[in-house]
Homo-oligomer: A and B are copies of this chain.
Amino acid sequence: MKIHSYQHKVQYYETDQMGMVHHSNYIRWFEEARVDYLEQIGLPYHMIEAGGILSPVLEMHCQYKTKTTFGETVIIQVGLKSYSGLRYTIGYEVVGEDGKIRCIGESGHCFVNTEGRPTSLKRAKPEWDEIFKAEITVE
Contact = CB atoms under 8 A, between A and B. Distances in A.
A23 B62 CA distance: 13
Contact of A57 (B11, B17, B61, B64): B64
Contacts of A44: 71
B27 A45 contact: no
A127 interface: no
Interface string A32-58: 100100000000111000000010111
Contacts of A64: 56-60
A22 interface: yes
Interface residues of A, dominant DSSP: mixed
Contact of A13 (B24, B59, B63): B24
Interface string A74-105: 00000000000000000000000000000000
Given A58-B63, A58-B64, A22 B18 contact: no
Given A13-B16, A13-B24, A46-B71, 10 more contacts: A11-B32, A12-B22, A13-B28, A15-B17, A17-B17, A17-B18, A24-B31, A45-B70, A59-B63, A60-B61
15 contacts: A11-B28, A11-B32, A12-B16, A13-B31, A15-B16, A17-B17, A17-B20, A18-B56, A24-B31, A44-B71, A45-B71, A46-B71, A60-B60, A60-B61, A60-B64
